[in-house]
């Protein structure tokens, strides 16, 4: 959905303030026409074999190409470098590359590069966090430069999604811990330069990209961590795109600004309220249900997110291929919440008076917006007699407490629930962290269900998509009924663009896939070559 903004006089002051920002920018004539994207977090790596922060991951997706891409509208992988993938059995995949593939330096991309990328992840030299890929491959057989066969040790349903990892050039990376600069891939844009402070990265269009050369000749990504400065840059016309980095509270300014367009679409982000099921009071399903009914999520979305989020029923968002809409839902209902608490034996000691039925602690990060959300939820729960103490901590302390099970309630977000096998990491009983290993899994609330365990194991090995969806349909039904989490919402992807930009789309995983097909409208007075 696209909203066109209207001008207001009061915006002029903010535009004038951009002179401070513009004076610091690169005004080289060769860069004046770059398409400028502002990022809110640092860029800290370009090697696809090493997981990095979100900003780096988005740039890696433009510089590098995988056998498949998962930057799709529904999360299903689509072919990219691979021309065809034939699954001969549960464990055997025959793969054919497109002919004529090259890296940015002109060197051919062949089956040997794919073998090097996948089979060296677990080597002593590389030792990538993604080394599990190497361990899962029983054999990698090259037939010729364009054809190879991968056989796995056992069936693995997420394998096709894992083939989205960018292929790196063996001729440059072999024998090194990480691929050297300048960073060479086979994606739609090639690395051009990076500023000394690493806050600006310039990419240029790759003529021989497998899906065709992008329309934009050059991109400049600039890290601007301050919310107000990013907004000023947009208003002052020194940036073309900001995605998911304008606070919902500041969007009214954007809506009233001349020359800007707001584009919003659904995302795969997932925000939830987690229960620590080690706490006796939270082991009672009626208490968890009461908390779910007492939260007015629609009001929070309306007033805190300005409508830019969708109610959630589980980890998977509507639009995902495995989403199940037919699960238990918890619409705002104070009377039902009070009744459930009474039935659980937690009666209100003074009716609608100030005394609470019981108290719990809600831990959150020190982020200002997240603290405000937590306090709002605490106020809502107080209406049914549940006392909530909001405790906020700097990220390191907070996240260590959550991983250690040192919380009653906490609210967190998964930035992109793409592959449903994530359910295994989050809810399988084998993934409950221990005091000796707080990173052993993400089942931090200690949820246990034997049927769910079996279903999650089946979901990891069932490669037939329809049968796999049936498995995750049942998993979603059980989790919605048993409520180890209260599913809150899926925040929308919100892109703010300069007027006149054409073709940009947001994908649910919030990557920059849309820049492959983006162009600028012709300036006034500019004519086509065929114009008379």
Q: Which residue has the tokens 């925040």?
A: 491
Q: What is the mean pLDDT of the segment spanning 507-522?
A: 91
pLDDT above 80: residue 19: no
Fold of 63-173: Dipeptide-binding Protein; domain 1 (3.90.76)
| Confidence at residue 28, expressed as pLDDT on a 0 to 100 scale | 57
Residue % of the chain over a pLDDT of 90: 76
Residue 263 phi/psi, 5° resolution?
-125, 125
| CATH of 2-40+188-265+498-520 given 3.40.47.10, 3.30.70.2190, 2.130.10.10, 3.40.190.10 | 3.40.190.10
pLDDT band per the 50, 70, 90 thresholds, residue 522: low
Q: What is the mean pLDDT of the segment spanning 75-95?
A: 96
Q: Is residue 200 within 8 Å of 192, Cβ to Cβ?
A: no
| Confidence at residue 11, expressed as pLDDT on a 0 to 100 scale | 44
pLDDT band per the 50, 70, 90 thresholds, residue 208: very high
pLDDT band per the 50, 70, 90 thresholds, residue 21: very low
Kindly report the average pLDDT of the chain as a whole number: 90
How far apart CA 312 and CA 121 sit, in angstroms, is 36
| Confidence at residue 30, expressed as pLDDT on a 0 to 100 scale | 59
Query: 320-339: per-residue pLDDT in tens?
Result: 999 999 999 999 999 999 99
How far apart CA 272 and CA 414 sit, in angstroms, is 9
pLDDT above 50: residue 24: no
pLDDT band per the 50, 70, 90 thresholds, residue 257: confident
User: From the CB of residue 171, how many other CB atoms can be counted at a distance below 10 Å?
Assistant: 13
What residue segments make up the domains of the chain, in order of their start? 2-40+188-265+498-520, 63-173, 270-491
CA–CA–CA angle 466, 471, 477 (5° rounding): 125
Alpha-carbon torsion 179, 184, 185, 187, what sign?
A: positive
We find that the CATH architecture of domain 270-491 is Roll (3.10)
pLDDT band per the 50, 70, 90 thresholds, residue 29: low
pLDDT band per the 50, 70, 90 thresholds, residue 254: confident
pLDDT above 60: residue 500: yes
Q: What is the mean pLDDT of the segment spanning 359-366?
A: 96
Query: 371-390: per-residue pLDDT in tens?
Result: 999 999 999 999 999 999 99
């Amino acid at each position: 959905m696209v909203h066109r903004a209207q001008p207001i006089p009061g915006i002029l002051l903010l535009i004038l303030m951009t002179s401070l920002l513009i004076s610091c920018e690169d005004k080289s004539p060769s860069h004046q026409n770059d398409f400028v994207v502002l990022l809110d977090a640092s860029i800290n790596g370009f090697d696809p074999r090493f997981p990095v922060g979100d900003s780096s991951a988005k740039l890696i997706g433009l510089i590098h190409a995988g056998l498949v891409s998962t930057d799709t509208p529904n999360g299903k992988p689509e072919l990219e470098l691979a021309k065809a993938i034939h699954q001969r059995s549960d464990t055997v995949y025959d793969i054919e590359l497109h002919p004529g593939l090259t890296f940015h330096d002109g060197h051919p991309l062949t089956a040997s590069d794919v073998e090097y990328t996948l089979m060296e992840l677990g080597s002593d030299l590389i030792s990538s966090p993604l080394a599990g890929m190497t361990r899962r491959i029983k054999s990698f057989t090259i037939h010729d430069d364009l054809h190879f066969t991968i056989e796995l040790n056992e069936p693995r349903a997420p394998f096709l999604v894992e083939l989205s990892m960018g292929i790196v050039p063996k001729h440059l990376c072999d024998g090194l811990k990480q691929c050297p600069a300048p960073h060479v891939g086979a994606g739609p844009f090639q690395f051009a330069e990076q500023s000394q402070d690493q806050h600006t990265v310039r990419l240029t269009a790759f003529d021989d990209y497998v899906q065709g050369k992008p329309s934009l000749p050059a991109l400049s990504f600039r890290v601007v961590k301050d919310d107000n400065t990013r907004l000023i840059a947009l208003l002052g016309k020194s940036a073309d795109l900001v995605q998911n980095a304008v606070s919902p509270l500041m969007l009214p300014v954007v809506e009233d600004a001349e020359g800007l367009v707001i584009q919003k679409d659904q995302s795969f982000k997932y925000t939830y309220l987690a229960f620590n099921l080690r706490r006796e009071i939270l082991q009672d399903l009626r208490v968890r249900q009461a908390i779910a009914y007492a939260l007015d999520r629609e009001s929070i979305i309306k007033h805190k997110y300005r409508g830019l989020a969708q109610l959630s029923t589980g980890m998977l968002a509507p639009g995902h291929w495995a989403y199940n809409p037919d699960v238990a839902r918890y619409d705002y209902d104070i009377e039902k919440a009070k009744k459930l608490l009474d039935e659980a034996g937690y009666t209100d000691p003074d009716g609608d008076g100030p005394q609470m039925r019981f108290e719990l602690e809600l831990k959150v990060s020190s982020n200002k917006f997240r603290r405000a959300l937590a306090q709002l939820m605490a106020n809502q729960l107080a209406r049914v007699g549940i006392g909530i103490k909001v405790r906020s901590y700097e990220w390191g302390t907070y996240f260590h407490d959550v991983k250690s099970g040192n919380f009653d309630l906490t609210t967190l977000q998964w930035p992109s629930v793409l592959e449903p096998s994530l359910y295994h990491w989050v809810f399988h009983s084998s993934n409950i962290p221990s005091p000796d290993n707080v990173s052993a899994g993400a089942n931090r609330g200690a949820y246990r269900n034997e049927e769910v365990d079996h279903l999650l194991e089946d979901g990891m090995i069932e490669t037939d998509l329809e049968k796999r969806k049936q498995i995750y349909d049942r998993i979603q039904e059980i989790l919605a009924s048993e409520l180890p989490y209260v599913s809150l919402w899926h925040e929308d992807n919100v892109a703010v663009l300069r007027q006149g930009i054409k073709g940009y789309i947001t994908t649910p995983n919030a990557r920059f896939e849309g820049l492959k097909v983006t162009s600028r409208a012709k300036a006034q007075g500019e004519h086509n070559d065929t114009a008379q």
